[in-house]
Amino acid sequence: MLPFYTRVLGLTSMLSVKLAQDDLHVVDNLEIPTDEESFITELIKGRNWGPSVLFVDDTDIMPRNITAATDTIKHVNLMPVYGLNVWSMLKHDTLILTRSAVDLIEDKLLTHLHKNDTKAVLAKFKVDQL
């Protein structure tokens, strides 16, 4: 297992990369009108979300329609925000976050990056600049 602050910085970096590459999108919620697989497939194709998509919400109980619609699609996954990691973001081309997931991620990252002991701990991870 990597050290805690290495994981925090990795998560921050990966979210920044996804945003810079236009592969991070924010939606209000994961409610969709139908549980048909064709609806979610057309939604992904119509919005150019890439071949593999990761949906992240702030809770581990996802809405019924999106769960049923994505159940048989191998390249589309649902994940609660507490399970989000760098490997999952690397594995998927597009990251879709709900507004509440963004708020929770922002709160957690800012808390850990601005603790009183963070500066001393992070100092050993910085690369010397020439």
- Of the candidate ranges 34-48, 67-81, 97-111, 114-128, the one whose mean pLDDT is the lowest: 114-128
pTM: 0.85
Q: What integer pLDDT is reported at residue 18 of this predicted model?
A: 96
Instruction: Give the DSSP letter string of 18-78.
Output: HHHTT-EEEES----S---HHHHHHHHHHTT--SSEEEEESSSS--HHHHHHHTT-TTEEE
Q: Say if residue 64 is exposed, middle or buried (CB neighbours under 10 Å; 0-12, 13-18, 19+).
A: exposed
Q: What integer pLDDT is reported at residue 127 of this predicted model?
A: 55
Residue pair 75/88 in contact (Cβ under 8 Å)? The answer is no
- Of the candidate ranges 34-38, 65-69, 100-104, 126-130, the one whose mean pLDDT is the lowest: 126-130
Q: What integer pLDDT is reported at residue 91 of this predicted model?
A: 96
Which domains are seen in the chain, by residue range? 4-120 (3.40.1370.10)
> In this model, does residue 88 exceed pLDDT 80?
yes
Task: Please indicate whether residue 55 or residue 129 has the higher confidence score (pLDDT).
Answer: 55
Single-letter amino acid code for the residue at 110: L
